[in-house]
Amino acid sequence: MDLYIPLFVAVPLGGAFLSAIIGHFLKRFGRIFTSVILAFLTGLSLFLIFTVREPLVLKVGGWELLGKIPIAIYMVIDGLSIYMLLIINLIGFLSAFYSISYMKKFTAENNYYTLFCIMTAGMNGVVISGDIFNIYVFMEMAAISSYALVAFGIEKEELEASFKYQVLGGMSSLFILLGIGLLYWSTSTLNIADVSRIIFSNGKSELIIFAQVILLAGFGLKAAMIPFHAWLPDAHSSAPSPISSMLSGVLIKAIGAYVILRLFFNMFAITYDVSLVITIIGTLSMVTGVLLAIGQWDIKRLLAYHSISQMGYVILGVGIGMLVLAKNGDRSVATLSIAGGLFHLFNHAVFKGLLFLNAGAVEYETGIRDMKKLGGLSEKMPVTASTSLSASMSISGIPPFNGFFSKLIIIIAAIQAGYYVLSILAVFVSIITLASFLKVQRFTFFNKKSSGLESSGISVREVPFTMCFSMIFLAVLCIVLSLMIIPSVREIILTPAVDVLVNAGKYSATVLGY
Amino acid sequence: MIIYLLCIFLFLVGLYGVVAKRNLIKIVIGLAIMEYSVNLFLILIGYVKGGAAPIRSGEMADKAFTNFVDPLPQAMVLTAIVIGLATTALLLAIAIRIYKKYGTFDIREIKNLKG
Amino acid sequence: MKGMTVIVKKVTELMCGVIFLYGIYIIIHGHLTPGGGFAGGVIIAGSFILLILSFGSDFLALKKEETGSSLIESSAILTFLIIAVLGMIIGGTGVFFKNFLPGGTIGKLISAGVIPLYNIAIGMEVAAAILTIFLALLIYKDEVLK
């Protein structure tokens, strides 16, 4: 079983450079090969979800423990890792399949697919690595290729957004590196499990607390939490649409939220102060993101602001769980809250990915992103309009869709834990989200056809097959994921991931084996 | 201790460059200075006064494993330098492209995107 | 880009072969002495960059050169990855990055199993990558000046 772990990095990397080489001679190679690779990895992660019960540990290079010192780089797959791998590769596959038609108008298509594969490999690497410096390296791999992908259109806006994103991203990476250095200084190890063992036995020194703050700032910037959100709306709205859907749907989760969860649950012992900070950041992001989104008329910019808000829900759910755990409260409430957060993470990847793909389809046909100039597209583009409707209902929490259930779980958990204000805020934000998406639906798809679109004389049709396929697949997932509330389904997919976080102290023992 | 503080001072010099300067190239230089300060800090962590190279062969084979320089931060710094090279190269490439589109390196004139 | 004066050209002519060989020396002694794939690769790329800087790039087809160097870069990374994956297959242990060749005696040139092979792959990759970056920046500069 351990054999499968390195494949998640090796296969996309190999695919990236194969498509760079063969793409010189065979123009269409990268286009198809990327989708094949990512479909394979999606299948592999589904297979692992159904078979793996115990965490898999791979020691790179075959170096065993030297006494009690882990000298190898560890690669660990546990419940949370598999859950994230499934999200990354699924959304990656659908975005790559969507790109087949969408990217035809761009030159240098092969470079696009090479960067796409490297980005996926980086995110997979972050999720499976059990070593904090390795996380940094894979994170940079994903981040640098995303900088290049944001600038892929090489127009004025893209370049400006990419430069902004790179400067802020580079600074956050330096903070993270500094934090890793401080951590190494005080514990003399980089292995997450070993650091956690040392912190549990020796307690936290001031140096470790300082490292904690710096790491929270660094990864918070990568996850675009509220005080650090300035780059997100520019970068996510300027990128090509499949890349926007990868960035919003997966990247900020894999290299931002996931690492925060992994480090602050499994590596640093949970304390009340840190959980309070995380909860406050989550709440602020949730409320401010949606307030900033109200006034937007650029469709992709609006979606980007909603990403901040919805990630706030995820962090809020997990933060409440942390608070309950830190106060030694009722563990079932913590479990419920964390489950809600992680469930919302998956849901957000699905519906936000879909919404960006819809925006891309509209832009592909009309070339317009300003909602004031759009209108009446529902007759001409039925697939785009109906899938967009289901995604909008899902993000604003209308009952049969998945977004409703995850938000409901978070709100119930907040009430059970006694944070009534937070639950009211969550409901309030959900209502504003609904209003905001009613605006999107009305002005883009259901309004009378606008004069601007009419006079420009663009003949609007439904988008090509590969784009339709990805959108329909995600729209179906929007409903199917609601099944996750059925206990037997939840047991398989969600519960292992939640267990890793709730039983945070067990991580080091299971990975190290002593 | 003073040497660690100097490291932090260098970090702040870089941060000043990123925050206060208005020329794209100067911002890139500021980022590079920040990166060097972090690299210097990592090297300092592994430094042992009078320590030998961490190779266990030849004349060093018999000596006890006591006074050696820590090789792990050096490996980390080497990796960080490679990553920094990639970041800087990409930043400069984008900066040149921006110059081509806008005809200036001044960030006050490059503001098509609002906040 | 224009070349430099005759003095620079002559000195470069004499030096760049030596620099290139020094880079190769650093790469193949990577497991014995300080340096290795990255440092040696940078030195090799430096010799090429020195040539282009002193003789100018007017007689080069820059796009073609860039394509060639990025092809070498991709194949070098692929070689690295293949060696790493071979470690999983050979010996049947299923360990990523397994050192599957015999270690040899410490201090000899041919020793340390597959590590020299990794160094050579990294050296090729870094040399080609830095040359690619340099050429790309050169191409952009020419575009901007037009």
Of A140, A154, A162, the CB nearest to B83: A140
At A424 the pLDDT is: 92
Helix extents (H) in A129-155: 132-150
Q: Tell me which residues of chain A, numbers 448 to 507, contact chain C at a CB-CB cutoff of 8 Å.
A: none
The subunits that touch chain A, with at least 3 C-beta pairs less than 8 Å apart, are: B, C
Q: What is the mean pLDDT of residues A421-439?
A: 91
Query: Which residues of chain C make contact with A10, given a CB cutoff of 8 A?
Result: 81, 84-85, 96
At A230 the pLDDT is: 86
Helix (H, G, I), strand (E, B) or coil at C122: helix
Helix (H, G, I), strand (E, B) or coil at A370: strand
Burial class (CB in 10 A: 0-12, 13-18, 19+), A248: buried
* Weakest mean pLDDT among A178-187, B50-59, C51-60: B50-59
B107, part of any domain? no
Above 90 in pLDDT, residue A93? yes
| C-beta atoms of A184 and B45 within 8 A | yes
Output the 3-class SS for B11-33. Answer: HHHHHHHHHHCCEHHHHHHHHHH
Q: How confident is the model at residue A382 (pLDDT cuts 50, 70, 90)?
A: confident
- The total number of structural domains in chain B stands at 1
Query: Which residues of chain B make contact with A232, given a CB cutoff of 8 A?
Result: none
CATH value at residue B96: 1.10.287.3510
| C-beta atoms of B89 and C107 within 8 A | no
Tokens of C101: 């060749």
Chain B nearest-CA residue for C146: B100
Q: Could you tell me the sign of the dihedral formed by the alpha carbons of C27, C74, C84, C91, in that order? A: negative
Above 80 in pLDDT, residue A506? yes
CB A306 within 8 A of CB A354: no
CB A163 within 8 A of CB A145: no
| C-beta atoms of A17 and C75 within 8 A | yes
| C-beta atoms of C95 and A5 within 8 A | no
Burial class (CB in 10 A: 0-12, 13-18, 19+), C60: middle
CB C44 within 8 A of CB C127: yes
Please give the residue range of the domain that contains residue B8. 2-49+68-102
Q: B82, B98, B102: best mutation site toward chain C, by most C Cβ within 10 Å? A: B82
C1, part of any domain? no
Q: Could you tell me the sign of the dihedral formed by the alpha carbons of A239, A245, A248, A250, in that order? A: negative
C82, part of any domain? yes
Instruction: Return all residues near C21 (Cβ < 8 A) that are at least 6 apart.
Output: none
Q: What is the mean pLDDT of residues A469-497?
A: 88
Of B81, B85, B100, the CB nearest to C144: B100
Chain C nearest-CA residue for A20: C74
Chain C nearest-CA residue for A57: C95
Question: What torsion do the CA atoms of A417, A422, A423, A424 make, to the nearest 10 degrees?
Answer: 140
| C-beta atoms of A59 and C95 within 8 A | yes
B110, part of any domain? no
Please give the residue range of the domain that contains residue C81. 6-145
- The total number of structural domains in chain C stands at 1
At C92 the pLDDT is: 65
Residues B60 and B64: their CA atoms lie apart, in Å, by: 8
At B114 the pLDDT is: 63
Give residue for tokens 């390296």: A137
Tokens of A279: 């909860």
pLDDT in tens, A5-44: 888 998 999 999 988 888 888 888 888 899 999 999 999 9
C23, part of any domain? yes
B108, part of any domain? no
Query: Which residues of chain A make contact with C94, given a CB cutoff of 8 A?
Result: 2-3
> Phi-psi bin for A269: left (phi > 0), alpha (psi -120 to 50), beta?
beta
B114, part of any domain? no
Above 60 in pLDDT, residue B60? no
Above 60 in pLDDT, residue B115? no
* A22 at interface of C, judged by CB pairs closer than 8 A: no
Give residue for tokens 């006694």: A418
Q: Tell me which residues of chain B, numbers 68 to 97, contact chain A at a CB-CB cutoff of 8 Å.
A: 72-73, 76, 79-80, 83, 86-87, 90-91, 94-95, 97
At A457 the pLDDT is: 63
Helices (H) and strands (E) in chain A, counts: 23, 2
The subunits that touch chain C, with at least 3 C-beta pairs less than 8 Å apart, are: A, B
The two beta strands, A56-59 and A74-77, are antiparallel
At A157 the pLDDT is: 85
**Residue A399 CB neighbours (<10 A):** 10
